[in-house]
Copies of this chain bind each other. A is one copy, B any other.
Amino acid sequence: MSDFKYLFEPRSIAVVGVSDDMGRPGSQAVRTLLKNGYEGKLFPVNPKYEQFEGLKCYRSVAAIEESVDLVVIGVPAKGVLSVLEEAAGKKVPFAVILSGGFRESGPEGIAREQKMLTIAKQAGMRIIGPNCLGFANIHSGVYAAFGSITREPKLKPGSVSLVTQSGGFGYSIALGCAEAGIGFRHVIATGNESDIDTVQLIDALLADRETRIIVAYIEGTRDGRALLDVGRRALAAGKPVLLWKGGVTEQGARAAASHTASMTGSYDFYRAMFKQTGIVEIREIHETVDYVKAFEAEKFPAGNGVAVMGVSGGSAIVFADAGEPEGLNLCDLNAQTQERLAQVVPNIGAIHNPIDLTAGYFSAGNESKLEAAVRATLDDSGVHAVCVNLATTGSAGSLVAADVLSRIVSTTSKPVVVFSSTPASITGAALRVFASAKIPVLSSPARAAKALAMLVKYRRLQSQLKQASYATSRPGGTTQYLSEASGTLSEAESKKILASAGIPVTQDRIVNAVNDKVFKELKAPFVVKIVSPDIPHKTEIGGVKVGMRTRTELEAAVIDVMRNARTRCPNARIEGVLISEMVQGGFELIAGVVNDPVFGPVVVAGAGGIYAELMKDSACRIAPFDEQTALDMLDELRCRPILNGARGKAALDVKAAAKALAALSRFAWENRDRVREVDVNPLFVLPDGVVAADALIIMQDKAGAPAQKQLLAH
């Protein structure tokens, strides 16, 4: 938080735009600062007032005698720039611009925002906003904000920081969490993000000791790579980031365009980013609440084995139903565990998983039995987490469970979560015990299962990240071939480049006529394709022939293909024909690279062939990535089982496919400034190895701006 220290802990704040109208943002900010006991110096600014809320009111920012760490600007848009210039003159390091009337409001606003940035840049001033609700540091009572952030209910201090592009909706997430007893550190509504953006703030919060969990709502980001990077650093640091991406559907993106004019970006790429960073995707307010509760316990399952115990069989079933699709496993309990359980669980109960403690088990006098049962379960090496279903257990029974479980959790590293459906008005005492022991209490067994499953995935990604190598340096790599290339490269050029990048390609030669060399160097059967920069769709004009085995057949095919091209495309420049070894058997994948304006190069892989393509069977990851990530990516394809060898056929070389995709990702990353698009179609996965049978590389326009492009298989 060092860079932003005096933004979030300002020693003095000037608030410009106060007035007797308490609807005005500035007025709200000053009042809230006073009410919440802000301890620094506070300078209201309005030339018309001598005093405001008992404080001396200043004519202008320039008129303030002392130094100012933060200026909060709530004047109408037209007045913002002059205030900013004054603040710049006074070397104020930070401004929060609450006012709207900038980029979001048309050409005049766009120009205003540009000038705003110029002033700030020249002065080295950093800006939150404009067009935002501002921020609050809940721990220090700093409310550089207006609107809902300043209203009841007041958030209680805690370890969650929220960064949101949408003040109204983002603060709804905060209110949902607050209602569930969750406390906050910083709440920052960033609005237009002209200067300081969500990613920079997440980065700053990583360094803030008081922030343990970060929740963010964004509609878009300028720099997907920075998000990827900060997400990975957060995962490595063990500081969970929960991110809600708004505008992920066509209608949602259209609504977002008219909201903050954000570049919403492809949801597919965001989803890849979630998988590659451990940033946890959230899509509901109550889900955020559940996940924050789960993270606050700071315990992570070492695997997916869970045990469920309690007094409600139906709840255990619902837990299992929700957990299985998310990867949880109601594991078998070992013999020793079952023996220990048998000593403390009534005969009519069940000592297998789910463990049926029988009705009324949570009751005074049963503490030591309950403790023994839970400890036995936690001691089982196959159990990585435990869910205790209190279900409708009343106040006394819940308190017994809370006392026992809170004693136990201090002695285990395995997460324990509780399902209770009894209203807080009845179980209040128990809930306080659970809260102080950091035991998450969820309001449905399905939500308990989903929260545990999320923890399992988070922990798994964390250990994967430690193993992953994102090395991107391959000195003397492929760039030499690329240095002179431009436009759309031919199949032969493209394949040569990909081969040098480590992707196996079919052997081929460009010739004008069949010669002995072809027969010596290539193996029949053959494919013949016309080579011309002017014929993009070769098949359609009879420019492709396949399956030739003999010299006679091959010669006829070459003549045929040449004639077809000359007849059907009389003006095309013909450079010869490409004779390739024909690939037989295996399964056709397609692989490609899209150079996305937000995320940079992204590798897409999918099932090839007409049917699979129509079924939109594809997966993507942000480049570069390792083979394990490529394997995960292939696992997402619905056609994946086919690679294991369908109907008695030989298993195909999935590892080689993963290796090729990882190589493609490195190539795409290393050459991201030059390569706009790569299409490998098909990439044959064979029983032993892979081979690209056709490929196309499209270079960036000289301008260098990557063009937007749909996913290959969509």
Interface residues of A (CB under 8 A from B): 23, 100-101, 105, 147-148, 151-153, 164-173, 175-176, 178-179, 217, 219, 244, 246-252, 254-256, 258-260, 283-286, 308, 311-318, 320-325, 329-330, 348, 350, 352, 354, 356, 359-360, 389, 391-394, 421-423, 425-426, 443-447, 609-612, 614-615, 617, 638-639, 641-642, 646-647
Contacts and interface: CB of A to CB of B under 8 A. Distances in A.
B392 A168 contact: yes
A451 to B, nearest CB: 13
Which among A286, A314, A389 has the greatest number of chain B C-beta atoms within 10 A?
A314
A153 B251 contact: no
A314 B170 contact: yes
A713 B706 CA distance: 43
A246 B314 CA distance: 7
A148 B360 contact: no
Given A444-B285, A612-B611, A168 B317 contact: no
Contacts of A359: 147, 168
Nearest to A354: B255
Contacts of A329: 251
B315 A421 contact: no
Contact of A317 (B176, B178, B247): B247
Contact of A314 (B219, B312, B642, B646): B219
B444 A176 contact: yes
Contacts of A423: 153, 175, 178-179
A35 to B, nearest CB: 15
A141 to B, nearest CB: 20
A421 B288 CA distance: 14
A255 B614 contact: no
B170 A330 contact: no
A317 B256 contact: yes
Contacts of A443: 176, 285-286
Given A219-B314, A252-B321, A320-B255, A169 B285 contact: no
Nearest to A175: B421
Nearest to A264: B317
Contact of A168 (B151, B153, B250, B312): B312
Given A329-B251, A444-B285, A352 B258 contact: yes
Contacts of A100: 348
B168 A252 contact: no
A625 to B, nearest CB: 25
Given A176-B421, A646-B610, A314 B284 contact: no
Contacts of A639: 611, 614-615
